[in-house]
């Protein structure tokens, strides 16, 4: 007697196999450290944001702001996932679909604001720290 594999399990298995073997197909490098040494040459010696040149109160404020932006970014991504889940599982319920759609839009706006805030803080830190 031949048993049929459910389509959901088969789809999950194919997706997992693609994630596992896609780097091999893309000829990705195995040694991550060698790739990082090439990337570090693109940025100045002060680092991406020049945070190494900031000391004392300026450095503390910069690090606290970066930590808060990281937490805000994680929350925005979480709301992006929640909004997508609500939108996908609405099953014709207009109220839940609208709730999910508005959550998605607000999460995307939040992510854009967080990224722009990071850029502004980085420019200010480079200016104050004397970075390039």
Q: Are 79 and 103 in contact (CB under 8 A)?
A: yes
Q: What pLDDT does 73 receive?
A: 92
- Please state, rounded to an integer, the average pLDDT across all residues of the chain: 76
Q: What pLDDT does 8 receive?
A: 72
Which CA distances in Å does 30 have to 14, 40, 58, 109, 118?
23, 18, 39, 36, 31
What average pLDDT score do residues 6-11 get? 72
Phi, psi of 30 (to 5 degrees): -85, -30
Q: Are 100 and 87 in contact (CB under 8 A)?
A: yes
Residue showing tokens 């389509």: 7
pTM reported for the whole predicted model: 0.57
- With a cut of 80, say whether residue 97 has pLDDT above it: yes
List pLDDT tens digits, range 24-52: 655 555 555 555 555 455 444 445 544 45
Phi, psi of 103 (to 5 degrees): -65, -40
Q: What are the domain boundaries of the chain?
A: 7-129
| Integer Cα distance of 104 and 77 in angstroms | 10
Q: What pLDDT does 71 receive?
A: 93
């Amino acid at each position: 007697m031949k048993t049929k594999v459910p389509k959901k399990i088969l789809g999950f298995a194919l997706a997992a196999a693609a994630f596992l073997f896609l780097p091999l197909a893309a000829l990705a490098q195995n040694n991550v450290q060698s790739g990082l040494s090439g990337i570090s040459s693109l940025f100045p010696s002060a680092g991406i944001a020049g945070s190494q040149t900031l000391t004392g109160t300026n450095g503390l404020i910069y690090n606290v702001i970066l930590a808060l932006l990281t937490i805000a970014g994680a929350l925005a991504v979480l709301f992006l996932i929640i909004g997508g889940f609500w939108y996908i599982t609405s099953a014709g319920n207009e109220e839940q679909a609208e709730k999910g759609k508005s959550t998605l839009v607000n999460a995307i706006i939040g992510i854009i604001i967080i990224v722009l805030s990071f850029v502004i803080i980085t420019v200010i830190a480079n200016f104050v720290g004397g970075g390039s």
